[in-house]
Amino acid sequence: MILNFSRRLILASQSPRRLKLLEQLGLHPEVIPSTLPEVFDASLSTEENIKSFAELKAKSVSEKIEDGIIVGADTVVVLDEEVLGKPADPADAFRMLRKLSGKMHSVITAFCVYSTPEERYISAVETTKVFFKEQSDEEIKRYISIDKPFDKAGAYGIQDKTAVFVKKIEGSYENVMGFPLTLFYKAMTNPKNIKSLNLN
């Protein structure tokens, strides 16, 4: 077991990928998804917005928990300053993947670890660059019909069939999956954070 929290641990996300990544660290959180709407603040940078979403998600779920540690997270894909969230339907997914074809984009993920009832938290953001090869319309349509990526930012999951679209990445692979595992591990093993959040 790489990490061990003696306190109740909650993941404020219904993403099966985030749950699987946390399980790689030996953690088995309860899942209580946040239903908080995401509204971008134009006065903030993309990174600041994503960090704020992660913090607000964790805090909103903490209101249902008397004592525990809540992990919130949020991921977006950014192409030429345009934020690509989750596609609304197949046509929207096709539009996103057509834009990403042959280009480099950034995947930005933020996480927040919130301790209640102390109301203490830490948060962090990580960015990974992803380079896509050129894709044909047929390849894109086939992927969408098979994997139905409607719960994924940017309409793709690097761990599924779109892996063949990726020429290379610069940064964390797990971050592209939806959770910066190494950054999270470093934060959770920092003595100052352990003491502040009362993890054990």
Q: Which residues are catalytic?
A: 74
Q: Does an H or E element contain 138, and which?
A: helix 137-147
Residues 6+ apart with CB under 8 A from 133: 101, 102, 165, 166, 167
Burial letters for 26-51: b for 16+ Cβ neighbours within 10 Å, e otherwise? Answer: ebebeebebebeeeeeeeeebbebbb
Cα–Cα distance for residue pair 99/134, rounded to 1 Å: 10
Does residue 132 contact residue 170 with C-beta atoms inside 8 Å? no
Residue 11 tokens read as 């993941």
Long-range contacts of the stretch 35-38 (C-beta < 8 A, 24+): 35/60, 36/60, 38/74, 38/85
